[in-house]
């Protein structure tokens, strides 16, 4: 019998903790502020940015949205980031990805001051994550860790297989699992015989971006299955990277999509904004 890893409940718990701390700061007259930049009209990005804004409202933080035209130049975006870097009233800066093709994402990410990079994407923050000396956590991977911690799922010595090697999820996920003393394998599109790895996994984290990619025959009995994917089917229905209906019968714990990792990402973003605020107002 499997148990659901309920990201809605756990994210509400994490956000409530942030809200309580922010309320104490508000008594002294200031609250953390997050600047969220979105360029263009990607529908999914609009939904994510809307959810981030709602989370700021819920936790009592200030959010400042910059919705820029699709044709915004790289120079204009860099100029905005430069202005926000120097603005003492702004504690966190987040530029929603993906950006339009004419803008170099790496350049934009690295233009954000590391102390305001609440996504944890910049080279400085990525380096700190691998050194195990970070203040700002990578949001989605840390959301996964917080979810597993809430359900007291042990990681030390466990075989953890991360499927996907993106800079946003796969790579930092592997770093955080390693920090928890797991034995970590990163699999990707060139991995030969993927199932031979996943079948030995105590914990599988799927971050591939392909609907129903992880099937029941790839999962061992009792495995913990974490699905970071969000894919939209032609029917309009959202589904993860894991064939939930069949895999759940083998899993001990499994995340749903939606309602699993997505809300956790945003909860960690709120935590990071509070951490950034505190570091800037010591």
- Which positions touch ligand GUN (CB under 6 A)? 94-97, 119, 139-140, 168, 265
219, 204 contact by CB (below 8 A): yes
| Strands lying side by side in the sheet with 203-206 | 3-4, 253-254, 224-227, 203-206, 159-163, 183-187
Least distance between ligand GUN and beta carbon 156 (Å): 27
Nearer to ligand GUN, 51 or 185 (CB): 51
User: Going by DSSP bridges, is the β-strand pair 92-95/183-187 parallel, antiparallel, or unpaired?
Assistant: unpaired
CA distance 1 to 276: 41
The whole-angstrom separation of Cα 244 and Cα 204 is 13
Q: How far is the CB of 65 from ligand GUN (least distance, A)?
A: 13
CA distance 13 to 240: 23
How far is the CA of 63 from the CAs of 68, 187, 201, 240, in angstroms?
16, 37, 40, 29
Nearest-angstrom CA–CA distance, 80 and 116: 14
Is 262 in a helix, a strand, or coil? Answer: helix
CB of 1 to ligand GUN, least distance (A): 32
CB of 132 to ligand GUN, least distance (A): 21
Of residues 110 and 195, the one with the C-beta less far from ligand GUN: 110
Q: In sequence order, which ranges of the chain are alpha helices (DSSP H)?
A: 7-27, 43-59, 74-85, 105-111, 123-131, 139-150, 170-179, 194-198, 244-247, 261-280
DSSP lists the bridge partners of residue 185 as 161
Nearer of residues 39 and 94 to ligand GUN, judged by Cβ: 94
Cα separation, 168 vs 269, in Å, equals 13
CB of 94 to ligand GUN, least distance (A): 5
> How near is the Cβ of 168 to ligand GUN at its closest, in Å?
6
Taking CB positions, which residue lies at the least distance from ligand GUN?
97
Q: What is the DSSP letter of 230?
A: -
Phi, psi dihedrals of residue 142, rounded to the nearest 5°: -70, -30
Q: Which is nearer to ligand GUN, 48 or 253 (CB)?
A: 48
- Closer to ligand GUN by CB, 154 or 209: give it: 209
Beta carbon nearer to ligand GUN, 153 or 168: 168
Neighbours of 62 (CB within 10 A): 17
Instruction: Return the active site residues.
Output: 52, 96, 119
């Amino acid at each position: 019998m499997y148990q659901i890893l309920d990201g809605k409940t756990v994210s509400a718990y994490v956000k409530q903790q942030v809200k309580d701390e922010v309320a104490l700061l508000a008594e002294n007259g200031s609250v953390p502020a997050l600047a969220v930049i979105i360029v263009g009209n990607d529908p999914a990005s609009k939904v994510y940015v809307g959810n981030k804004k709602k989370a700021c409202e819920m936790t009592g933080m200030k959010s400042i949205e910059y919705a820029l035209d699709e044709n915004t130049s790289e120079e204009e975006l860099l100029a905005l980031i430069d202005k926000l870097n120097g603005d003492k009233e702004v504690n966190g800066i987040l530029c929603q990805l993906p950006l339009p093709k004419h803008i170099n994402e790496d350049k934009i990410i690295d233009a954000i001051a590391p102390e305001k990079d609440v996504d944890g994407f910049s080279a400085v923050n990525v380096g700190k994550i691998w050194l195990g000396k970070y203040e700002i956590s990578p949001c989605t991977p840390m959301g996964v860790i917080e979810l597993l911690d809430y359900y007291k799922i042990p990681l030390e010595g466990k075989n953890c297989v991360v499927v996907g090697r993106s800079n946003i999820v796969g790579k930092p996920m592997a770093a955080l699992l390693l920090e928890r003393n797991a034995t970590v394998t990163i699999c990707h599109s060139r991995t030969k015989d993927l199932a031979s790895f996943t079948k030995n996994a105590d914990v599988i984290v799927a971050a591939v971006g392909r609907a129903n990619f992880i099937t029941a025959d790839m999962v061992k009995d009792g495995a913990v299955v974490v699905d970071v994917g969000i894919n939209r089917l032609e029917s309009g229905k959202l589904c993860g990277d894991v064939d939930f209906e069949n895999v759940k019968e083998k899993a001990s714990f499994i995340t749903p999509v939606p309602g699993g990792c997505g809300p956790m990402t945003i909860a960690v973003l709120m935590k990071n904004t509070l951490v950034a605020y505190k570091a800037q107002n010591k």
